[in-house]
Amino acid sequence: MDDLLAYRDRFPILGDCTYLINHSLAAMPAAAEARLLEYARMWRERGIRAWGEGWWEMPVTVGDQIGRIVGAPPGSTVMHQNVTIAEEIVLSCFRSPGARNRVVYEEANFPSVRYLYQAQPGLEVVTCASDEEIVDAIDERTLLVPISHVLFKNAEIQDVEPIVRRAHEAGAYVVLDCYQSAGVVPFDVTALDVDFACGGSVKWLCGGPGAGWLYVRPDLAERLEPTFVGWQGHARPFAFEPELEYAAGARRFLTGTPNVPALYAATAGYDVIEEVGVGRIRERSLVLTGLLLELLDAGGFEVGSPRAPERRGGTVLVRTPDNAAVHRELGERGIICDFRPDAGIRLGPHFYNSEDELRHTVSVLAEIVESGAYERHSGAAARF
Ligand SMILES: Cc1ncc(COP(=O)(O)O)c(C=O)c1O
């Protein structure tokens, strides 16, 4: 697995600091800079012709690359700006839900997902404490079940299959937020039989901001009619017809002009993830998170994320006496991570991190806590 360390040269920031924040904003591949220059060159030299030379199709061609990573067939995944928009497009297919107006979700869903469903006037939200509770809460009044594959706060992998089984039995649809799994935990949306899946690119996919994605199960994509739609979702967008006629497949889930520069940048990340392979990344991730657990145990720290490999995502959560202050001190010593105020410090190694970086991190953490060096930051506010 040491051969994965050869990839470090492709991620310039790794030479400057100990970068353990891949669950939030993974390291930028140097190739992203070249891609953005290519985008600028196209704009400068090709002007309007660039639309016909790839730009217009990018939400679908880049979506197909995501599809290869998450097990979605070609033509079933399209690119958007973020998860909020992807889930709003899903919601827009069900504007008049009638008696089937319940959304059953887990309280550990990411806030933007929670807020979006809470804000819908016609829907009743049922909040569950765990993936098991979700299975029990689904009934014939349930319309949508938006869940996270890996929880953002403590990186717990959720048991998706029983939820999908129960949802389909009851006639409900599952929306799987894969933001914290895509690129670090292997999965296959087709095998999972989820109805919708979505995610973004800033985390383990190393793709940077502005490149969210939405997968729609192919048979559903032919039937559903999103009401949040734009001209890219029309069967013949360049006919500029006065009436809406949906495009076939996942294209009908598009809106307007795509976020072209973000899609250029993002493919640099997807390329390296495809090249390494999520299976190899997962093997390496389990080794690194396993080592972190050992080191933290030896240092007498309390760990707040799952230990069992089948429940363990890419991040290890460690509790400290003052997460905000300890985080600030770690940052000043060149160790880049983050914290959630009521949870702990999140350490998220990716395939390019080394064992030595983890040993160094835990030894600095122990020194900061034992010496009380963090206390000078007490009262530090939450930030990135
Ligand atoms: C599980 C999960 N979902 C969604 C998001 C972000 O949502 P959005 O793309 O709407 O910013 C994050 C993190 O930023 C996340 O961890």
Closest-CA residue to 357 (of 272, 365, 314, 322): 365
- String of DSSP letters for 262-277: HHHHHHHHHHHHHHH-
Q: Give the whole-angstrom CA distance, residue 103 versus residue 123.
A: 7
- Which tokens in the block code for residue 98? 């009638």
Q: What is the pLDDT of residues 312-371, one digit of tens each?
A: 999 999 999 999 999 999 999 999 999 987 889 999 999 999 999 999 999 999 999 999
Q: Which atom of ligand 1 is nearest to the CA of 202?
A: 14
Ligand 1 pocket, 148 CB below 6 A?
A: yes
Helices and strands (H, E) in the chain, number of each type:
13, 13
Which of 81, 88, 105, 112 most suits a substitution to test ligand 1, by most atoms within 8 Å of the C-beta? 112
Strand partners, 176: 147, 197
Ligand 1 pocket, 84 CB below 6 A?
A: yes
Strand partners, 212: 80
Whether 1 has a pLDDT exceeding 70, the answer reads: no
Q: What is the pLDDT of residues 41-59, one digit of tens each?
A: 999 999 999 999 999 999 9
Amino acid (1-letter code) at residue 168? H
Asked whether 147 and 169 are in contact (CB, 8 A), the reply is no
- Taking residues 380-384, report their average pLDDT: 70
Closest C-alpha to ligand 1, atom 16: 152
CA distances from 29 to 112, 251, 271 (A): 27, 29, 10
Q: Cα of 239 to ligand 1 centre, how many Å? A: 36
Ligand 1 pocket, 110 CB below 6 A?
A: yes
Q: Cα of 48 to ligand 1 centre, how many Å? A: 33
Asked whether 198 and 86 are in contact (CB, 8 A), the reply is yes
- Which tokens in the block code for residue 94? 């069900």
Q: Cα of 359 to ligand 1 centre, how many Å? A: 29
HSE, CB side, 13 Å, CA atoms: give it for residue 187.
26
Whether 383 has a pLDDT exceeding 80, the answer reads: no
Name the maximum alpha-carbon separation found in the chain: 70
Which of 152, 205, 213, 338 most suits a substitution to test ligand 1, by most atoms within 8 Å of the C-beta? 152
Ligand 1 pocket, 21 CB below 6 A?
A: no
119 falls in which pLDDT band (50, 70, 90)?
A: very high
- Which tokens in the block code for residue 2? 């040491």
Q: Cα of 201 to ligand 1 centre, how many Å? A: 10
Please state the pTM of the whole predicted model: 0.97
200-204, long-range: CB < 8 A, 24+ apart: 200/82, 200/83, 201/266, 201/269, 201/270, 202/24, 202/25, 202/26, 203/22, 203/23, 203/24, 203/25, 203/26, 203/179, 204/22, 204/23, 204/26, 204/180, 204/273, 204/281, 204/314, 204/350
Q: What is the pLDDT of residues 184-209, one digit of tens each?
A: 999 999 999 999 999 999 999 999 99
Q: What is the pLDDT of residues 239-275, one digit of tens each?
A: 999 999 999 999 999 999 999 999 999 999 999 999 9
For a pLDDT cut of 90, what percent of the chain falls above it?
96
Which of 179, 185, 205, 213 most suits a substitution to test ligand 1, by most atoms within 8 Å of the C-beta? 179
Query: Does residue 106 sit in helix, strand or coil?
Result: strand
Closest-CA residue to 25 (of 256, 205, 260): 205
Ligand 1 pocket, 152 CB below 6 A?
A: yes
Closest-CA residue to 102 (of 171, 42, 43): 171
Q: Which atom of ligand 1 is nearest to the CA of 151?
A: 1
Whether 384 has a pLDDT exceeding 70, the answer reads: no
DSSP state of 95: S
Angle between helix 323-332 and 355-371 (nearest 10) = 120
Closest C-alpha to ligand 1, atom 8: 83
Q: Cα of 110 to ligand 1 centre, how many Å? A: 6
Q: Cα of 204 to ligand 1 centre, how many Å? A: 12
- String of DSSP letters for 58-77: HHHHHHHHHHHHHTPPTTSE
Asked whether 138 and 113 are in contact (CB, 8 A), the reply is no
Ligand 1 pocket, 179 CB below 6 A?
A: yes
Q: Cα of 371 to ligand 1 centre, how many Å? A: 35
Whether 382 has a pLDDT exceeding 80, the answer reads: no
Ligand 1 pocket, 82 CB below 6 A?
A: yes
Contacts of 347 (CB under 8 A, 6+ apart): 20, 292, 315, 316, 317, 318, 337, 358, 361
Q: Give the whole-angstrom CA distance, residue 366 versus residue 355.
A: 17
Asked whether 112 and 84 are in contact (CB, 8 A), the reply is yes
- Which tokens in the block code for residue 329? 């001190």
Which of 83, 87, 113, 338 most suits a substitution to test ligand 1, by most atoms within 8 Å of the C-beta? 83
Ligand 1 pocket, 210 CB below 6 A?
A: no
Closest C-alpha to ligand 1, atom 14: 24
Q: How many CB atoms lie within 10 A of CB 108?
A: 19
- Taking residues 110-121, report their average pLDDT: 96
Q: Cα of 179 to ligand 1 centre, how many Å? A: 6
